[in-house]
Structure 1
Amino acid sequence: MTRSVYRFEEWIVALDDEPDAEPTVFGAQCAVCLNASDVLADEEQVAHWVRDHAGRHPSHHSYRELIQRPLRAWMPNAVNP
């Protein structure tokens, strides 16, 4: 018979602001047809995509903003996360 031992650890999750962190990027998705913009580093380019899409599809009024931010997870008691 085997016996399992579980050890629960506390983890911290926060935005990754290290110099080598991935950049924060943005996008948009049409909530009507689910078409989405490219992933872009400039929010104004995303707004341009929404205006362009709405212009080509006048009945599409609802959009989702898509944001990818880098996160970092570590255990506070671990040696040098």
Structure 2
Amino acid sequence: MSTRAVIRQVDWTVQRDEEPDAKPRTYARECDVCGEGSPRTTDPDAAAEWILGHVRTNPSHNSYTEIIKRPWRAWMG
């Protein structure tokens, strides 16, 4: 048998973490044809430039996915 008790109900808030100590936002691109991907970087333009190099050597690979990692935080209200 188990017992469960609710002590109090609290509201939670969730938002992007913009604090100075937050992890950096990072970007990458991935080829939808072969699955090869760019290195993860904090520079979104560098990740986009990877596509040009990849398509130059693989002309039939013309579909890509952008991968963005953003830090989020949650706290009780």
What TM-score bracket applies, with the shorter chain setting the length?
0.7 to 0.9
Q: Secondary structure at the match of 2:45?
A: helix
Partner AA of 1:64 in structure 2: T
**Aligned partners of 1:2, 1:25: CA distance in 2, in Å?**
44
Q: For structure 2, list consecutive stretches of 5 or more residues without a partner in the other structure.
A: none
Cα deviation for residue 12 of structure 1 reads 1.4
Aligned length: 76
Cα deviation for residue 18 of structure 1 reads 0.7
Q: Secondary structure at the match of 2:34?
A: coil
* Aligned pairs for 1:1-81 within 5 A: 1-6=1-6, 9-76=10-77
Q: For structure 1, list consecutive stretches of 5 or more residues without a partner in the other structure.
A: 77-81
**Aligned partners of 2:64, 2:28: CA distance in 1, in Å?**
10
Output the TM-score relative to the length of structure 2: 0.87
Cα deviation for residue 30 of structure 1 reads 0.5
Deviation per residue, 1:23-56 (Å, 9 max, x gap): 1110000111111111011111111101101111
Moved over 3 A (4+): 6-9
Output the TM-score relative to the length of structure 1: 0.83
Q: Secondary structure at the match of 1:23?
A: coil
